[in-house]
Amino acid sequence: MKVTIKTSEEIELMRKAGKILAEVHQCLGKEIKPGMSTLDIDRLGEEMIRSYGCIPSFKNYCGYPASICVSVNEEVVHGIPKKSRIIQEGDIVSLDAGVIYEGYHSDAARTVAVGEVSKEAELLIERTRQSFFEGMKMATAGNHLYDISSAVGDYAAQFGYGVVEDLCGHGIGSHLHEEPEIPNYRPSRFRHGIKLKPGMTLAVEPMINIGTADVLWMDDEWTVVTEDNSLSAHYENTILITEGKPEILSLTEDEKAAGYLELF
């Protein structure tokens, strides 16, 4: 499949999907409390998604058994919600969710701090988020895809963080995963990636570890963890490439009010 340019009708549907997903993240993030299980979070998230008449896109995707990927502390992504995994004060919890609205997808992730977390955890969350926005500074028509990748990766690496290379962002639209694959690091200097064009829709999703970039897959075949057990954070949005600044389709109202549109 080639990288697709969405029509204005498709873009309108993706805007709606993004807005709904942003609302889900905004509400779900505020619900995370010590004592909840990761399965409680999944149930709540799925209920919210369905309340908008949307389908949770992750459910049964390649056999993934839940609607929300809930990844705690050293878990990087694709944590499987469980009744036995209880959230504690001081945890950082990555919530990754996808919705389908009238056939079109939106995909977004946030890492939330539960109560008081360590200074290093707080910085990791903030800098992972900012690495996404550094990528957004380059996400404009005429630039190349790996301009985004390089900006994301270089920003995070300057803090000594491990930038996960085994998982990537992706194109998105009528499918959750479309071309192109979007690395979060600077590839070889001979490769630039495709030229960005207005109407491309992408899911950019840095996964950043305090320690090593190396990750492992657990026996459940989904949960990705850091090899050295260091903390990991994830920040993802579905974006639309334009002639100017990218449109971030899954930004929450709280984030807009907090001035995130000025971060890129």
Asked if 61 interacts with ligand MF3 (CB under 6 A), we say yes
Q: How far is the CB of 206 from ligand MF3 (least distance, A)?
A: 12
* Comparison of 40 and 107: residue with beta carbon closer to Co ion: 107
64 binds, among Co ion, ligand MF3, none (CB under 5 to 8 A by kind): ligand MF3
Give the distance from CA 56 to its chain's centroid. 15
* Comparison of 46 and 107: residue with beta carbon closer to Co ion: 107
The helix (run of H) or strand (run of E) holding residue 174 is none
Asked if 96 interacts with ligand MF3 (CB under 6 A), we say yes
Asked if 107 interacts with Co ion (CB under 5 A), we say yes
Q: What is the DSSP secondary structure assignment for residue 263, as one 8-state letter?
A: -
In whole angstroms, give the CA distance from residue 71 to residue 94. Answer: 5
- Region from 68-76, 103-111, 241-249, 254-262 binding Co ion, contact rule CB under 5 A: 103-111
Which member of 200, 203, 207, 240 binds Co ion (CB under 5 A)?
Answer: 203
- Region from 11-19, 57-65, 132-140, 239-247 binding ligand MF3, contact rule CB under 6 A: 57-65
CA-only gyration radius of the chain, Å:
17
Asked if 105 interacts with ligand MF3 (CB under 6 A), we say no
Q: How far apart are the first and last CA of the chain?
A: 30
Asked if 42 interacts with ligand MF3 (CB under 6 A), we say no
Sequence-distant (6+) residues with CB within 8 A of 257 are: none
Asked if 99 interacts with Co ion (CB under 5 A), we say no
Which member of 29, 37, 55, 64 binds ligand MF3 (CB under 6 A)?
Answer: 64
Size of the site for Co ion (CB under 5 A): 3
Where on the phi/psi map is residue 51: left (φ > 0), alpha (ψ -120 to 50), or beta?
A: alpha
- Helix or strand or coil: residue 100? strand
Asked if 10 interacts with ligand MF3 (CB under 6 A), we say no
In whole angstroms, give the CA distance from residue 117 to residue 23. Answer: 24
Sequence-distant (6+) residues with CB within 8 A of 6 are: 14, 173, 199, 200, 201, 240
In whole angstroms, give the CA distance from residue 61 to residue 191. Answer: 31
- Region from 17-25, 56-64, 149-157, 207-215 binding ligand MF3, contact rule CB under 6 A: 56-64
**179-213 b/e with 16+ CB inside 10 Å = b?**
ebebbbbbeeeeeebeebebebbbbbbbbbbbbeb
Asked if 107 interacts with ligand MF3 (CB under 6 A), we say yes
Q: How far is the CB of 58 from ligand MF3 (least distance, A)?
A: 3
In whole angstroms, give the CA distance from residue 185 to residue 166. Answer: 11
Asked if 132 interacts with ligand MF3 (CB under 6 A), we say no
- Region from 58-66, 122-130, 210-218, 250-258 binding ligand MF3, contact rule CB under 6 A: 58-66
Q: Which residues bind Co ion (CB under 5 A)?
A: 107, 203, 205
Q: Which residues bind ligand MF3 (CB under 6 A)?
A: 58, 61-62, 64, 69, 78, 96, 107, 109, 170, 203, 205, 236
